[in-house]
Amino acid sequence: MSSSGILQATTLRPETAHLALPFFDAAHRRIAETLPDWANEQRVDEADDRAACRDWVHRLAEGGWLRYCVAAAHGGALPALDSRALVLLRETLAFYSPLADFAFAMQGLGSGAISLAGTPAQQAAYLPAVAQGSKIAAFALSEPDAGSDVAAIKTEAKGVNGMRSDGSKDVETTAWRLNGSKTWISNGGLADFYCVFARTEPGVGSRGISAFIVDKDAPGLDDSAAIQVMAPHPLATLRFTDCALPAHALLGE
């Protein structure tokens, strides 16, 4: 569409007039032009929020919309994560179904730390699956006594050192053990993996917190305690009891 065509279209539709601004490009306008019709055609039974969320993830993947949650190098739609595209997507999805917006947002939020700080191996293992909808993501930060005060989290991760062949202890961490709990976790009990924040160094506030990728089948993870709320929104409490993680589950340094 030419610049004059964009201006004419957005003048006729005040709710999309902002798309004429140079802040948006052709890729953003394609989202705004095509997503509303797609979303309007979807018919999802949301009586069971967990089943509906799985359905939405499947549909969003088939429609190609989850590709905006990761960069092109991992199967994404754009060269890099783009906040303008994400805002347009979420605004439109929320208009048609808050649960559709939720399902989309959690794929990005739950995998965002992997996009930002994951190793090439971690990114290859999770990000394409997020874009394809074959793995559902979740973000686990809040605790019974720590929400917006991140520095107050108590979930703890301790490194486990291996042994050399001569019986001496290796200085490198070969595994991690998580203990603690998280609550009000979106996609809890539904997700295939969680981005979990835990304290790895005591006494230094937020500087002593690290992030880990925890698969749903990790030994010592119990995500079965669902939390019921009025709105369709899958939530659960997560409990970690000597939850065993490999060394490569750590995100960043």
Q: Give per-residue pLDDT as tens, 186-231.
A: 999 999 999 999 999 988 877 899 999 999 999 999 999 999 988 8
pLDDT greater than 70 at residue 179: yes
Q: What is the DSSP string of 5-31?
A: HHHHHHHH-GGGGGGGSTTS-HHHHHH
Kindly report the CATH number that applies to the domain delimited by 137-251.
2.40.110.10
Nearest CA-CA partner of 236 in 106, 111, 132: 106
Classify burial at 166, counting beta carbons within 10 Å of its beta carbon; exposed 0-12, middle 13-18, buried 19 or more: exposed
Residues of the chain with CATH 1.10.540.10: 3-132
pLDDT greater than 80 at residue 172: no
Q: In whole angstroms, what is the distance from residue 223 CA to residue 178 CA?
A: 14
CATH architecture of 3-132: Orthogonal Bundle (1.10)
Residues of the chain with CATH 2.40.110.10: 137-251
Query: Is residue 35 very low, low, confident or very high in pLDDT (cuts 50, 70, 90)?
Result: very high
- pTM, full prediction: 0.87
Residue 71 DSSP SS3: strand
